[in-house]
Structures are given as C-alpha cells and as structure tokens.
C-alpha cells in the first residue's frame, strides 16, 4: 500500500512539474516566482492526496460498514 500511494504522489509531483515546465519553458534566473508557487503547491498536493486515499482505503478495509467509526470510546 505504501509503494502504491507513494507512486501516486511521485507521479503527481513529477508529472505536473514537467507539464508546467513544458508549457511555460525554462524561466530566467530572476523569475522563479511562478515555479516556486507551482512547486510548493504540488508538494502539498502530492503529499495530501495519497495520504487521504491511503487512510480511506485502510479505514474501509479495517472497519465494517455496519459499525460506526469511533475515535474515542
């Protein structure tokens, strides 16, 4: 499960950054502002999306749909 969702995160990070690089081209040394914004946004997305999907899959496998999900007993 770790390799599967880690692969999804890596694909998001690499794929979107390459897509942005192809669309915008290589910027000058003074103009990295857009690249930084896109880069940091993709880092957050690449971490958040696989974590959410992994937790949801783990929760669905572990708990029966008949039982409520309880955090404190």
The residue that leads in pLDDT, 10 or 24, is 10
The residue that leads in pLDDT, 23 or 72, is 23
In angstroms, rounded to a whole number, what is the distance separating the alpha carbons of residues 44 and 70?
A: 28
- Give the C-alpha distances (Å, rounded to integers) separating 5 from 50, 59, 64: 5, 15, 23
In angstroms, rounded to a whole number, what is the distance separating the alpha carbons of residues 54 and 1?
A: 7
| pLDDT-based confidence at residue 70 (cuts at 50, 70, 90) | low
Q: What is the pLDDT of residues 12-63, one digit of tens each?
A: 888 887 887 787 777 666 667 777 777 788 888 888 888 888 888 887 777 6
pTM recorded for the entire structure: 0.53
């Amino acid at each position: 499960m770790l390799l599967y969702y880690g692969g999804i995160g890596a694909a998001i990070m690499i794929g979107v950054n390459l897509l942005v690089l192809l669309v915008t081209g290589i910027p000058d040394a003074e103009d990295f502002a857009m690249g930084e914004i896109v880069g940091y946004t993709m880092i957050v997305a690449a971490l958040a999306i696989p974590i959410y999907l992994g937790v949801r899959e783990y929760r669905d496998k572990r708990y029966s749909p008949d039982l409520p999900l309880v955090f404190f007993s």
